[in-house]
Structure 1
Amino acid sequence: MPDAETQWDDHLSKNLAKYSLLLDKLTTLSQVTKLQNMVRADHAETAAQLNELVAESHTVHNKQIRRLELRRTGLTSTLSQFHTALNAVRNSNVEARSINTEISTTDAEREFLQQTHSFLNDVRSLKNNISLIQGALKDGDYLVAATAINEINELPSEIVNSQFALATIPTPEMPHSAGEILAQWTDELRTLFKANFTAAVAANNIDDLTFYFKLFPLIGEPTLGLDLYSKFITDIISQENQKFIATALKLDSGFHWVLLQLFKISSTVINEHSKIIERAYGLEYMPFIMTKVEVEVELQSCLVLNYFKETKLDTVAAEVQGTAAKTLINEFSQFLQNWSMYSRFFSVRWREFSAVGEENNETQGPLTLANPITDGSFMRKLHDENIFHTFQDLNLKYLARSSRRSVELEELPDINPLISTTLIPHEDPSSWPISSVLEDVILLLRQSLVCTVNTGQFAILAEFIASVVKFITNDFLVNFVQKRLKRLQEELNNGTIPSLRKYIPHDEETPQERARSPMAKAGSPGYHGPPQTQYQMQQSTGKFNLRGAFANIQSNLQSVVVANELDDQGNDDEINILRLHKYLIYINTLYFFQIATHKLFVEEIVEENARLLPDNFPFNDDCHRIADQLRSAESKISEQTGKLSHWGLRYLFQTALLHRVKRLLNDLFINGTDNNYIANTDDFEDLSQINSFIVKWTNFITPYQNVLYRDAHHALLLLLTDFCKNFVEKRVWALRVNELGAVKLDRELSLFISTICGLNYSLREDFTRVTQIVLLLGFDDDDFDVRTGDIKEELVNSIDWVLSPQDRAQTRSLKVDKRR
């Protein structure tokens, strides 16, 4: 709403505008008079309104002035109150400072009184303890005297040498100051305690020895007490070890036992005497004792190692074969194992005692080898004198020479009982025929690996794993199995490759004559060696009991292998039959070796015994690194073994099986002329050809299935299946088929695949392509698109086709009775 001034201005503006219009219209005097009267009236009205406006403005202004005056009066009152409060605060501050001064003075006086009281109590305690020491020394009560000295030593140093103490404590009988007399008594007691401790050690008086050992820290001599005590227990270790060494030298053996007893004593010392040291000194002193003990233990360990080298390593190491070498390796392994176990014990206790008193008393996390061991003389001696290398060299030489000896004494089982057209179940894995060398080598590997793992030395085991992979690759796989297979291949190539049948020696030979013949030697079927050798072999196999597979095979196993119409005129050389037997045994040996090495390297060591590696290799992440190395080694061995077995089976397939399989397949999938498969109602049900094939195939493949380990037989079937599916597909593409022929061909193909693959669906998938070709031959003409020659779209989407559209169109062209 506009204010009064704005309204007034508007009123004046309107009047001036009105007057301006009237002036422009004046024409007579009467109009001028009227205008003058109008102006006067307006002026009087305007003056009245103006006076009213001024009066109203004056009233409002006066009200505002009175309001401001009231506010000023209130502000003055508040200001007065503020000044009053400010004066009160100022007065309170003065009083507070005064009170604070009084309190500070009182606190200072109280603290001074407390210090004085404490000082007087300390001086009184000092004086009383000095008197107590004086009397205790006269009475020979050394525990009281040492305890009093300990209490004096715990007093502030300024008490003993204070002026007040100098003025009050000396007496005519004891004129010296407290500090002087205390130093004198401490020296006397130090000498006395040391002498008495030494005398107690000489007299083997454990009570006195323990008593005086506890007194040394009371007189401020803990290091002297620990030194004397350390010498006492290290002398015990030394004396006992001398007895053990004397016994070992007398028996000329058992140095690993000597080392074990030495470590038992030192471990007992650390465990048992830590309780005494904890009560008298505190566990924080245990690392000091352990360092002293370890110096002596390593000195004695070096002495034992010297005797072990002189009496064992330098005399027996040259003979790395036989019982003596095996015994030496086991003793050597136990020697190092005892050191590893002690190192673990010492490091665990060292970490526990070293953490005492630390803010972060942390004993978790990977264990590390204790410094006294890593920097010790025994560890240095082991490295400087190549002790680890000596063990490694001895172990590997024994492994190599023993394996060569095993090859010389090799035995091969008689597989005649397995050569049958009736499928023989193998419920026990030991029923598969393998070379005796496999079990011997696995046993030797197991013994060597166990000895190496038991040493607990990461460097030894890591190097052994790498070395044993080379040994297996070179000595066993190449120089033994591959060499045997190559020699058999060369011998088989020089003659007619026979079918798999029983080896039957000449009838004119008696069993006694055959035993004296060149065939009756290691590696010949029927040879079993002396009874003692068989017993030793059976006892030595442990978990890998693979030999003796046929010792328990019943003599009434059905064995119906015919002279086999597949052979060339049925007169194969009997020697080649025996060579084929050997060849199959070596194939099995490869597959079982793969199984055995996986069991040895991974299952037994890493998986089945979860604590074996962590317990033997507790430091840092050594156990995980070893597990990774073992898995890697097993993988490399498996890869090399797989390559060799595949090579051996491919030769068997190409030379002994391929030409027979071709002859079996030649008469299949023919119903008419060579390139025709034209069936009619007369011969539609005639499946004589495929039935004949099934009989011949069963007689042909079952003996291999009985002899070859299931994985080897499966690998052989893969080769056979691959050839058969290519052969059949090539033949089908060359056929001309009528409608009935397509149905009959489908039946024969189904029987063929079932015979070859059995229930192995992965093998059946290899025939998918040829199966779809025969399936298409049975389709009606209405199923095909005349324009493209391919099947109609709805059929394309109903089956997962491996055939291309061109293949499907070509398949339709094989039919002779299709509509154009």
Structure 2
Amino acid sequence: MSPTVGLTLVQPPPSCHAIDVVSLSSAPTTTPTTATTTMSAIATPSPIPSTPRTPPPLDPRAITDPSEIAAQLAALTRREAEVTLALNALISDRAGVDGALQRLQSLTPHIDSLSAQVDGVGSSSSSRPLPALRRDSQQSLGLGSPGLGQHGFGSQHFDETVLGQENEGLVSRVSRVYETSERVGGKVRRLDEEIGRVRQSADVVTEVLELKNSLANLRGYIEKHDWENAARACRRAMDVRPDVLNGGFAATVVPTTESPLPPPQQLDELRQVLLTTFRAEFELAADRRDEQEISRYFRLWPGIGAEDEGLAAYGDFVVELVQSRARKDKDGQRSSPLYYLAQLTSLLEAIAHIVDQHQPVIAKYYGRGRMGKVVARLVRESDRVVQRLVEGWEEERRVGRLIADTESSTFPLLSNPALLPPLFPSLVSTAGQLSLANLANTTSNISNALQSYAPRVKGGVTPAATPIPEEDTGPDARDVDRILGELVALGGRWALFRRFIFARLREDAEPDAATSDPSKRAEGADGAEDSGEGEVSAKTADVDESILTSSLSQRAMENLLRTYYLPLEEWYLRTAVEKAHKLDQADAGSKPYLSSILDDTFYLVKIVLSRALSSGSLDTLARMRQRVAQVLERDYIDVLSRKMEAVYAAGQGVSYDRAEKERREKDQRTAVIIYLNDLDLSGTYVERLLSEWRAQPPAVWDESELPRVTEELELFGDLALKFRLKCKAGLDALFANVLRPRVRQLLDEVYKDVRYVLDEDSFADAEERDVVRRRFVRLFTTLTEEYKAYLSDSNFQSLFALLLESLVRPWEKLAMGLQYTDFGAVRFERDIKNIVNFLNNQTSFGLNVVREKMVRLNQIALVLNFDEDELADIDNVGVPWRLSSNEIQQVLELRV
């Protein structure tokens, strides 16, 4: 049927002039594949000309101006003309459209042919025979060669030998092949299933026969007391799959008239006989201490899957060893200082010795990860012994009364530092001597303790006040020190034991092929088969650590340290610091000046913190670190600060002769210098202690605990900053009370009768005399030589910076109040440079400090010496100006 083309011209509405262009209708519809092929063949230009885009319609109500209405009407008229031209062109090209439709129609037979090949001739919508594609049609479509499937369909001219001579489609043939393969494959699968069932049945029969033979052999070996072979036979029976063991076939074949019970029940009864026998024989061997028999029965338990039973029996055995050792060591005198420590050490060494010797045996026969159960059993035994030891120690040492006595101590000298004796007798008032006479205490030998951190060489030579025997109040510090040493030793022994056990448990939890493989463990057990679990539970490490961290022994040690060690150690430290303050003496032979309290205090701090570190308790270390920091802040830093304040207040309101006044002033300066140096070097001592402990921490700590230990030490190191802050405050007070009044006098004396209005002759005379530099050197040296000689380097650096800071401001004002000729400006610049060079040579650290502080004075001298050309380009001289523009102008006005 010939396709038709219909053209319909639609007049658009006046409002928008929309156009429906052309509707083309064609009869047959092609498949997507054919359409793709044919469309590429008829890619010809469209006869329809492109039409301009319709302008957007406007709302007539929005057009209110006549000019806008006229413009819109003109645009619509132009659009109408364009559309008319496009329609006329389309109608005139009717031949092109008809040609395209004819080419599409010529593809219809070819599409019918392809449909017949795929679906079969009978299923085609057309009953026409498969025609040959005309060459002229192929050429007109641009195919280039006969046969549409030459490349795209894999055949030429639809070869009948390839497609088959039967009058059926491709889908039918594929369906028939699929059905045939399904029939054949189904039979093969059913055959495979039957073969599999036969094999399963054969396996079941084999396993049942193996089960029957194993049970019979097991029964025979038990009667012969051949326990090794009995264990092997039991293992073979246990290796039978549970579904076979409990299956109906085994229940029918295995029972006999002699053993009519079902197979599972027979196996359980025979295995129970082995377990009972192994336990009885093991205990007999343990009583006889027969190591060979003990080893024999110990390695048989894993062969029958009874690792827990074997480890339980082994645990009882090693506990008996520990108890026997404890009974031997029980004799001794409880009042002996080493009795309880020796008892605890003996117990823990016995357990550690057992773990060390027996861990390889357990790993060999039972696999890694099993040692934890034995350790848990041993720790439970240690809990009982440790609890008894702690109770006996508390009763024998009477520490409860000792704690009560220390809590009643008041430390009067620390709470009222005014009662403490001063460093020099000249700084004591009459009232102070009377009150000190009742409180002086000189019987302590703390000042003679090991001076492990002292930079000095000779002892103090300053005479002290007349000593008065002290009254015994409170507990004896030597008794407290002995108790503290015993407490730390007990805690340290437990911590070492805990570290050793942790290390062994972690080692035991590591997988090892030689011990985790059941077959290899069986070879090591003289042929006894062993199928014990070789895998180590993922929770082993946590469980192992909880064996000790949650034990009664751990809690007992923590309670012992928390209840007795912490308060006694704090009391001991405060008592020693109070005595160190009381015996504080100046060491005039040291450089820098120091006093005995520095070494005495930090010797004690080192002892106290070393004991806390050796206790092996993180909680104890953290609490003791906090208490030591509080004692040092309250009883050392604050007391030294109050003693410095007392130095400034000493002798006020009292008249002295000139010699006595000078001596008192010198003693005041010396005392303040000593206290400042003590504070400064205290920060250095803290850092030195931390450095030593970081380099070599005590051996009681486990690797997992070392980060926390380091953290606590770093927190203790914060004290160094507090020492230096308090020292800085003391230096500010020293400068304000002593040095600041003399700074202005120094400048007035240096520039007395100095003028910078110079001519050539006076300039030469000033160069020769160099008055400013010589005066400044003499006066500044007199002002600072005592502090430079006796202050620590850090303190003198801080004081030097304060001096410069206080000098430059009045110096700048003084310079701005003078007048300068050209020669005078050169002289002023040389004076400033000479003084800067002198100040730089005063200290090894002064170069940057002096340059920074004197920069404005140097710039004043620089501006005074600028010529006219330099002044004109002053912003480009390459100097980072510290002077403002107004200040530069003021400096220029000083030139005459």
TM-score, normalising length: structure 2: 0.64
SS at match of 1:801: coil
Q: CA deviation at 1:404?
A: 1.4
String of CA shifts for 1:68-87, please: whole Å, max 9, x gaps. 64469968874634759999
Aligned to 2:685: 596
- What is the CA–CA distance in structure 1 between the aligned matches of 2:802 and 2:297, rounded to whole Å? 87
SS at match of 1:681: helix
Instruction: Work out which of the residue numbers 761, 765, 770 in structure 2 matches 1:687.
Output: 770
Instruction: Work out which of the residue numbers 827, 831, 855 in structure 2 matches 1:744.
Output: 827
Aligned to 2:552: 377
Tell whether 2:495 aligns with 1:407.
no
String of CA shifts for 1:774-807, please: whole Å, max 9, x gaps. 3333334x358xxxxxx32246533222111211
Tell whether 2:888 aligns with 1:808.
yes
Tell whether 2:483 aligns with 1:328.
yes
Kindly indicate whether the alpha-carbon contact (under 8 Å) linking 1:355 and 1:362 is maintained by their aligned counterparts in 2: no
- What is the CA–CA distance in structure 2 between the aligned matches of 1:132 and 1:796, rounded to whole Å? 111
SS at match of 1:735: coil
Aligned residue type for 2:649:
E
Aligned residue type for 1:591:
D
Aligned residue type for 2:701:
N
Aligned residue type for 1:687:
D
SS at match of 1:596: helix
Tell whether 2:602 aligns with 1:442.
yes
Looking at both structures, which has the greater relative contact order when contacts are Cα pairs under 8 Å and sequence separation is at least 6?
1
Are residues 437 and 242 of structure 1, via their aligned partners in 2, closer, same or farther at CA, if it must alter by over 3 Å? Answer: farther
Aligned to 1:530: none
Instruction: Work out which of the residue numbers 671, 677, 698 in structure 2 matches 1:582.
Output: 671
Aligned to 1:732: 815
Q: CA deviation at 1:475?
A: 0.4
Aligned to 2:749: 667
Aligned to 1:712: 795
SS at match of 1:230: helix
String of CA shifts for 1:549-599, please: whole Å, max 9, x gaps. xxxxxxxxxxxxxxxxxxx97774434433432322222111111211122
The equivalences for 1:749-764 within 5 A come to 749-758=832-841, 760-761=846-847, 762-764=849-851
- What is the CA–CA distance in structure 2 between the aligned matches of 1:281 and 1:347, rounded to whole Å? 20
Aligned residue type for 2:825:
A
Kindly indicate whether the alpha-carbon contact (under 8 Å) linking 1:355 and 1:363 is maintained by their aligned counterparts in 2: no
- What is the CA–CA distance in structure 2 between the aligned matches of 1:378 and 1:649, rounded to whole Å? 52
Instruction: Work out which of the residue numbers 217, 227, 232 in structure 2 matches 1:132.
Output: 217
Aligned to 1:39: none
Instruction: Work out which of the residue numbers 739, 743, 756 in structure 2 matches 1:657.
Output: 739
Tell whether 2:213 aligns with 1:213.
no
Q: CA deviation at 1:708?
A: 1.2
Aligned residue type for 2:570:
L
Are residues 814 and 140 of structure 1, via their aligned partners in 2, closer, same or farther at CA, if it must alter by over 3 Å? Answer: same
- What is the CA–CA distance in structure 1 between the aligned matches of 2:371 and 2:226, rounded to whole Å? 29
Aligned to 1:154: 239
- What is the CA–CA distance in structure 2 between the aligned matches of 1:403 and 1:136, rounded to whole Å? 79
Aligned to 1:488: 647
Are residues 368 and 391 of structure 1, via their aligned partners in 2, closer, same or farther at CA, if it must alter by over 3 Å? Answer: farther
Aligned to 1:343: 498
Tell whether 2:329 aligns with 1:249.
no
Q: CA deviation at 1:439?
A: 0.8
Are residues 104 and 327 of structure 1, via their aligned partners in 2, closer, same or farther at CA, if it must alter by over 3 Å? Answer: same
Tell whether 2:697 aligns with 1:697.
no
Deviates more, 1:743-752 or 1:157-166: 157-166
Are residues 698 and 271 of structure 1, via their aligned partners in 2, closer, same or farther at CA, if it must alter by over 3 Å? Answer: same
SS at match of 2:879: coil
Q: CA deviation at 1:112?
A: 4.1
Kindly indicate whether the alpha-carbon contact (under 8 Å) linking 2:491 and 2:557 is maintained by their aligned counterparts in 1: no
String of CA shifts for 1:469-522, please: whole Å, max 9, x gaps. 22111100112x11321222112655799xxxxxxxxxxxxxxxxxxxxxxxxx
Kindly indicate whether the alpha-carbon contact (under 8 Å) linking 1:617 and 1:623 is maintained by their aligned counterparts in 2: yes
Are residues 569 and 808 of structure 1, via their aligned partners in 2, closer, same or farther at CA, if it must alter by over 3 Å? Answer: farther
- What is the CA–CA distance in structure 2 between the aligned matches of 1:85 and 1:730, rounded to whole Å? 113
- What is the CA–CA distance in structure 1 between the aligned matches of 2:316 and 2:626, rounded to whole Å? 45
- What is the CA–CA distance in structure 2 between the aligned matches of 1:71 and 1:79, rounded to whole Å? 20
- What is the CA–CA distance in structure 1 between the aligned matches of 2:659 and 2:218, rounded to whole Å? 117
Aligned residue type for 2:726:
L
Instruction: Work out which of the residue numbers 466, 473, 476 in structure 1 matches 2:626.
Output: 466
Are residues 598 and 183 of structure 1, via their aligned partners in 2, closer, same or farther at CA, if it must alter by over 3 Å? Answer: closer
TM-score, normalising length: structure 1: 0.70
Kindly indicate whether the alpha-carbon contact (under 8 Å) linking 1:343 and 1:369 is maintained by their aligned counterparts in 2: no
String of CA shifts for 1:319-344, please: whole Å, max 9, x gaps. 77644433432332232233334434
Tell whether 2:277 aligns with 1:195.
no
Kindly indicate whether the alpha-carbon contact (under 8 Å) linking 2:683 and 2:721 is maintained by their aligned counterparts in 1: no
Q: CA deviation at 1:378?
A: 2.9
String of CA shifts for 1:207-259, please: whole Å, max 9, x gaps. 22222233334445443333222211222233324444545737442534543
The equivalences for 1:312-327 within 5 A come to 312=397, 313-314=399-400, 322-327=477-482
SS at match of 1:667: helix
Q: Percent identity over the alignment?
A: 19
SS at match of 1:587: helix
- What is the CA–CA distance in structure 2 between the aligned matches of 1:434 and 1:82, rounded to whole Å? 121
Kindly indicate whether the alpha-carbon contact (under 8 Å) linking 1:347 and 1:367 is maintained by their aligned counterparts in 2: no
Aligned residue type for 1:335:
L
- What is the CA–CA distance in structure 2 between the aligned matches of 1:574 and 1:449, rounded to whole Å? 41
Aligned residues: 652
String of CA shifts for 1:735-762, please: whole Å, max 9, x gaps. 2333333322333333333334436221
Are residues 82 and 136 of structure 1, via their aligned partners in 2, closer, same or farther at CA, if it must alter by over 3 Å? Answer: farther
Instruction: Work out which of the residue numbers 374, 392, 395 in structure 2 matches 1:289.
Output: 374
- What is the CA–CA distance in structure 2 between the aligned matches of 1:82 and 1:278, rounded to whole Å? 80
When the two chains are superposed, the root-mean-square deviation of aligned CA atoms in Å is 4.1
Kindly indicate whether the alpha-carbon contact (under 8 Å) linking 1:721 and 1:766 is maintained by their aligned counterparts in 2: yes
Aligned to 1:110: 195
**What are structure 2's unaligned runs of at least 5 residues?**
1-101, 111-127, 135-156, 407-474, 512-532
Kindly indicate whether the alpha-carbon contact (under 8 Å) linking 2:750 and 2:775 is maintained by their aligned counterparts in 1: no
Tell whether 2:856 aligns with 1:773.
no
String of CA shifts for 1:529-565, please: whole Å, max 9, x gaps. xxxxxxxxxxxxxxxxxxxxxxxxxxxxxxxxxxxxx
- What is the CA–CA distance in structure 2 between the aligned matches of 1:380 and 1:775, rounded to whole Å? 76
Are residues 697 and 303 of structure 1, via their aligned partners in 2, closer, same or farther at CA, if it must alter by over 3 Å? Answer: same
Aligned to 1:792: 872
Deviates more, 1:405-414 or 1:683-692: 683-692
String of CA shifts for 1:190-214, please: whole Å, max 9, x gaps. 3332222221222122222222233
Aligned residue type for 1:489:
Y
Tell whether 2:729 aligns with 1:647.
yes
Kindly indicate whether the alpha-carbon contact (under 8 Å) linking 1:169 and 1:178 is maintained by their aligned counterparts in 2: yes
SS at match of 1:713: helix
Aligned to 1:390: 564
Q: CA deviation at 1:691?
A: 1.9
- What is the CA–CA distance in structure 2 between the aligned matches of 1:412 and 1:463, rounded to whole Å? 34
Kindly indicate whether the alpha-carbon contact (under 8 Å) linking 2:618 and 2:708 is maintained by their aligned counterparts in 1: no
Are residues 808 and 616 of structure 1, via their aligned partners in 2, closer, same or farther at CA, if it must alter by over 3 Å? Answer: same
Tell whether 2:388 aligns with 1:307.
no
Kindly indicate whether the alpha-carbon contact (under 8 Å) linking 2:606 and 2:689 is maintained by their aligned counterparts in 1: yes
Deviates more, 1:71-80 or 1:134-143: 71-80
SS at match of 2:584: coil
- What is the CA–CA distance in structure 1 between the aligned matches of 2:268 and 2:535, rounded to whole Å? 35
- What is the CA–CA distance in structure 2 between the aligned matches of 1:368 and 1:695, rounded to whole Å? 77
Q: CA deviation at 1:402?
A: 1.2
- What is the CA–CA distance in structure 2 between the aligned matches of 1:81 and 1:67, rounded to whole Å? 14
- What is the CA–CA distance in structure 2 between the aligned matches of 1:242 and 1:400, rounded to whole Å? 42
Kindly indicate whether the alpha-carbon contact (under 8 Å) linking 1:129 and 1:152 is maintained by their aligned counterparts in 2: yes
- What is the CA–CA distance in structure 1 between the aligned matches of 2:505 and 2:853, rounded to whole Å? 66
Aligned residue type for 2:396:
T
Aligned residue type for 1:814:
L
Are residues 230 and 722 of structure 1, via their aligned partners in 2, closer, same or farther at CA, if it must alter by over 3 Å? Answer: same
